[in-house]
Amino acid sequence: MFEKSLADGAAHSADLALGSTQQAASHALNSMNAALDRGVERVRETTHQVRDSALRASDSTIGYIRDEPVKSVLIAAATGAALMAVVSLLTRPRGRN
């Protein structure tokens, strides 16, 4: 009789521990899901902000090219030449010392 009571008590304690563990796991999972949802929303907002900034910059650039076409071509040519010079310096074979 004592053994059955002891076994029942152990089973009851195990059930309580399992229930507590399940609650903790459920709470942790809910917290992780909420954090993930907040992260996804932040990425979405940042993506929209970057897209809007890029569109404004594009519109501004187009307006500048329209207003100053010769200057724009000269700036583009100078930028291209500078980039080619950098690429040339980085890709040229190095001599042995």
Supply the pLDDT for residue 14. Answer: 83
As given in the structure block, the two tokens for residue 93 are 């074979």
Per-residue pLDDT tens listing for the chain (97 residues): 666 677 777 787 888 888 889 889 999 999 999 999 999 999 999 999 999 999 999 999 999 999 999 999 999 999 999 999 999 999 988 765 5
Burial of 65 (0-12, 13-18, 19+ CB in 10 A): middle
Supply the pLDDT for residue 16. Answer: 81
Q: Where are the domains of the chain?
A: 2-66
Round to the nearest angstrom and report the end-to-end CA distance of the chain: 93
pTM over 0.75: no
Q: Are 65 and 72 in contact (CB under 8 A)?
A: yes
